[in-house]
Amino acid sequence: MIFRAVEDADLIQQAARGNVESFNLLVSRWEKRVYNYLLRITGNREDALDLAQDVFLKAYQNLRKLDDAGRFAPWLYRIAHNEAYSLFRKRKPETAVDNLEAEAGSAGIAVGGRSVFPIELSLAVAGALDRLTPDQREAVVLKIYQGFKFEEMSEILECPVSTVKSRLYTALDLLKADLAPISARGVS
């Protein structure tokens, strides 16, 4: 008897034929990643969970439209991106951005002049991420935390690779200015 790991492609194929159990297995593999992506771009756990459920429901309903199972991840994150921005549009866009900036201000902590503990570093990172624009933050989340390539990010965000790189490079410069000194103290 030969045992073989069930690939995502197998599950996608079965789920596309209406097999709910296969889709549930697929969800269990991706829900944590999608939830954390949504959490980092919305900054709200409830919103992230609600959006994650909507994302997987839409994915199930549209799974047959996915031509290439190998492109499942960018396709799924594209749905997640659209759902998140749909939520932002439902609320006043300026409010969403303002809230994020206000949260960023409150999350920022003074760490100068002394070594930092991991929890403090995490809070500093959260604050630095919050100070980015939503586009820059999403680019960082997709690249650093989700590990997508520029081409895949371009597909998810529906913008040219040059735009993706521009957002990411600007964000990295800002994060570097904020975090590199803190991280250096934490390491030392």
Q: Which of 11, 12, 27, 73 binds another protein (CB under 8 A)?
A: 27
3-class SS of residue 4: coil
99: its two tokens = 């809230």
CB 31 within 8 A of CB 52: yes
Quick note: the x/- pattern for another protein over 99-128, rule CB under 8 A, is: -------------------x--xx-xxx-x
Which lies closer to another protein via its Cβ, residue 64 or residue 92?
64
Looking at the Cβ atoms of 9 and 180, the one nearer to another protein is 180
Q: Distances in Å between the alpha carbon of 144 and those of 129, 141, 148? A: 12, 6, 8
Residues 39-78 that bind another protein (CB under 8 A): 39, 45, 49, 52-53, 56-57, 60-61, 64
The residues near 187 (Cβ < 8 Å, ≥ 6 apart) are none
CB-based contacts of 25, cutoff 8 Å, min separation 6? 6, 11
- C-alpha to C-alpha distance for 33 and 80, rounded to whole angstroms: 11
Residue 144 has what DSSP assignment? I
Q: Which is nearer to another protein, 3 or 125 (CB)?
A: 125
- Positions that interact with another protein (CB under 8 A): 16-18, 20, 23-24, 27-28, 31-33, 35-36, 39, 45, 49, 52-53, 56-57, 60-61, 64, 118, 121-122, 124-126, 128-129, 140, 143-145, 149-150, 168-169, 172, 175-176, 179-180, 182-184, 186-187
